[in-house]
């Protein structure tokens, strides 16, 4: 019997594939958790919850989270550009 014909050979390949997929999922979840934390930190700085209000720091946090694809952070970032909070008003950047 050849090695490729052994029934457990397929299981080993499936296990390796499953482990790779698990690793990818864990990394994606870490990125999502990081962006959520950054968005929440930006919110705290924007509105002064438990920290001193600081619009430029809020913008930085929103930029980092928005760069990771966090839609709510992108919304807050656009809102801050629109209302000139922490930056000069820039409608074209707000629409991006």
pLDDT in tens, 17-75: 888 888 888 888 888 898 899 999 999 999 998 899 999 899 999 999 998 888 999 99
What per-residue confidence (pLDDT) applies to 86?
74
Model confidence at 94: pLDDT above 70: no
Q: What is the CATH number of domain 9-95?
A: 1.25.40.10
Q: How many CA atoms lie within 13 A of 18 on its CB side?
A: 6
d(Cα 26, Cα 24) in Å, to the nearest integer?
A: 5
Which one has a higher pLDDT value, 22 or 90?
22
Which one has a higher pLDDT value, 96 or 70?
70
């Amino acid at each position: 019997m050849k090695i490729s014909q052994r029934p457990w050979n397929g299981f080993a390949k499936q296990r390796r594939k499953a482990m790779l997929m698990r690793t990818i999922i864990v990394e994606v979840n870490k990125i999502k958790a990081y962006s959520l934390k950054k968005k929440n930190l930006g919110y705290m700085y924007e509105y002064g919850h438990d920290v001193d209000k600081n619009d430029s720091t809020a913008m930085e946090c929103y930029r980092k989270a928005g760069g990771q694809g966090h839609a709510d952070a992108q919304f807050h970032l656009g809102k801050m550009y629109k209302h000139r909070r922490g930056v000069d008003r820039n409608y074209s950047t707000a629409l991006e």
